[in-house]
Structure 1
Amino acid sequence: MRNDPAAQAVNYTLRDEIRDYWSARAATFDQSPGHEIFSEDERQAWHELIEKHLGRGYGRAALDLASGTGVVSHLMDDLGYRVTGIDWSDDMLALARAKATARGRSIRFLLGDAERTLAPDESYDVVVTRHLVWTLVDPQACFREWHRVLKPGGRLLVIDGDFVHTGFWERVIKRIDTLSQKAGWISPQPAHAPAGLADTHRSILSRVHFSNGARADAVGHLLADSGFSVISIDRDLRRIHRAQAAHLGRLKALVRGLQHRYAIVAEKPVNANPSD
């Protein structure tokens, strides 16, 4: 029964699809601007954003959720945090561990689910995640879990965006980019995902909680409902976008600046119970 294909198909959930999608992306993940860091200027821009909302580490414990190849984990390690990264893709974790070894970092990477981290109550001073929330099946369950593992007074930093809705000027620029490539006026950027995954991505996106786009206000409301307080939304990511521009191409850089991208910082109240 264990090897019955029909039984396996029934038990293959949307979460499994998401895991397998990112596993398929792992080998080329770091080739994409916006994933890996491509310049010291960009690295400093990320450091500024993290310090602005979380401060320096000074040995405090940080949890990097959906850590992928460890890009954000390394940024946190740079700033003096004691970092644990969790991801549920073995392929991503293998690359993350290899990168940490090559750079001489002592970051711990574990196989884990963002909704069920298996971490003890109140075990982290900060929790950080980049481009995870828009993929969540049950964000409120995840937010409650993140609230649970934070120490009282601990902070959560969510870096994400609405990658579904496009404004008028964004659509215009994308159209110009497409026509310019067809005309040979600009060179197309190399694909950073295996062929055939676009349909998989669209299928997954249509079924996640934020299928209509993860707007900052909606995410903030869910965080408040999950027990977080002192929630603020930072929409000024311009320095990061400027630093990425040289590797994105002029038109794609313009699009990035027009998108609904943000950082949300939220705090676990000092008097909160672990189970709240």
Structure 2
Amino acid sequence: MQQDTKRQIRSYWTKRSHDFARLRVKELNSPMARLWEEEIDRHLPDIPGLRILDIGTGSGFFAFLLEQKGHRVTGVDLTPSMIEEAEEIGRKTGSGAEFRVMDAENLLYADESFDVVLSRNLTWTLPDPGRAYREWYRVLKKGGLLLNFDGNYGREDFAKGDEELPDNHAHKTIADSLRRECNRIKDQLEVSRRVRPAWDVEKLEEAGFQRMELDLSVSERIYRRVDEFYNPTPLFSIKAVK
């Protein structure tokens, strides 16, 4: 069942990868990039050259931001076409970030490989986030940091028509057929029926994380403007230390 769901997820994001990448390039060259840098910097240790794994990197937005700050960053994503988009952006910008096709729930890295693991808008799409958290814990070094930015997107109805979406909603330009496809996929996922981020905290504790901080006010700092990057679903962040 999970493998079939992952095939559906990969197929969906393959269809969206090029347009998604174009939006992320615009975001990299907008004030949003600085807002995200500030948000992440609030949590990172003041150490140069951190080894960072950006899971669910998509077209590499976080990976490029952090590589520009001197960190050693690898971005992984389940969808090959997303990684192709990230690599193309990297070639054009001269970025040193590395990218690999990889399943967030089955990482191909040795134990304690990274100082930081982070993700953005990923865990709501995973068939088994609990397994993912255990894997992320495994590849973190002792004292390493997990930063997860996500929202309760599983509670949203992506099948709404354009006329029902707020102006400048991030999904406004996505075809109706793709929004319906996204809705079908997320309705299959257990995480869509959970109370988050309380459920995430429980799973992170089971994975072995001891120190956690929740922040429910991320959107107030990131989405200051209602523009093409805006999404009204409130973002939360979870910071956890191994």
Please, which of 218, 222, 229 is the counterpart of residue 240 of structure 1? 222
**Measured at CA, do residues 31 and 107 of structure 1 come closer, stay the same or move farther in structure 2, by a change above 3 Å?**
closer
State how far apart, in whole Å, the 2-side matches of 1:195 and 1:122 are. 43
Q: State the SS of the aligned residue for 1:245.
A: coil
> What is the TM-score with the length of structure 2 in the denominator?
0.87
Per-residue deviation, 1:220: 1.4
Please, which of 83, 105, 108 is the counterpart of residue 118 of structure 1? 108
**Measured at CA, do residues 57 and 130 of structure 1 come closer, stay the same or move farther in structure 2, by a change above 3 Å?**
farther
Where in structure 2 are there 5+ consecutive unaligned residues?
none
Aligned residue number for residue 13 of structure 1: 4
The aligned length equals 238
Per-residue deviation, 1:31: 4.5
Q: State the SS of the aligned residue for 1:224.
A: helix
Aligned residue number for residue 135 of structure 2: 145
Q: Which moved more, 1:116-125 or 1:22-31?
A: 22-31
- The equivalences for 1:67-86 within 5 A come to 67-86=57-76
Per-residue deviation, 1:79: 2.5
Letter in 2 for 1:241: Y
Per-residue deviation, 1:116: 0.9
Deviations 1:197-224 (A, max 9, x none): 1222111111112122561111111111
Q: Does 1:46 align with 2:36?
A: yes
- The equivalences for 1:211-226 within 5 A come to 211-212=192-193, 215-226=196-207
Retained in 1: the 8 A contact 2:149–2:238?
A: yes
Q: Which moved more, 1:141-150 or 1:215-224?
A: 215-224
State how far apart, in whole Å, the 2-side matches of 1:205 and 1:179 are. 20
Aligned residue number for residue 78 of structure 2: 88
Aligned residue number for residue 27 of structure 1: 18
Percent identity between the aligned chains?
31
**Measured at CA, do residues 28 and 153 of structure 1 come closer, stay the same or move farther in structure 2, by a change above 3 Å?**
same
Q: Structure 1 runs of 4+ off > 6 angstroms?
A: 186-190
Deviations 1:20-55 (A, max 9, x none): 11111101113448x952654321111111111123
**Measured at CA, do residues 11 and 239 of structure 1 come closer, stay the same or move farther in structure 2, by a change above 3 Å?**
closer
Larger radius of gyration: 1
Letter in 2 for 1:163: Y
Per-residue deviation, 1:187: 9.1
RMSD: 2.9
**Measured at CA, do residues 99 and 191 of structure 1 come closer, stay the same or move farther in structure 2, by a change above 3 Å?**
same
Q: Does 1:193 align with 2:174?
A: yes
State how far apart, in whole Å, the 1-side matches of 2:79 and 2:170 are. 26
Where in structure 1 are there 5+ consecutive unaligned residues?
1-9, 167-173, 269-276
Q: Which moved more, 1:147-156 or 1:53-62?
A: 53-62
Deviations 1:129-181 (A, max 9, x none): 00111011111111110000000000000000002436xxxxxxx99x93799
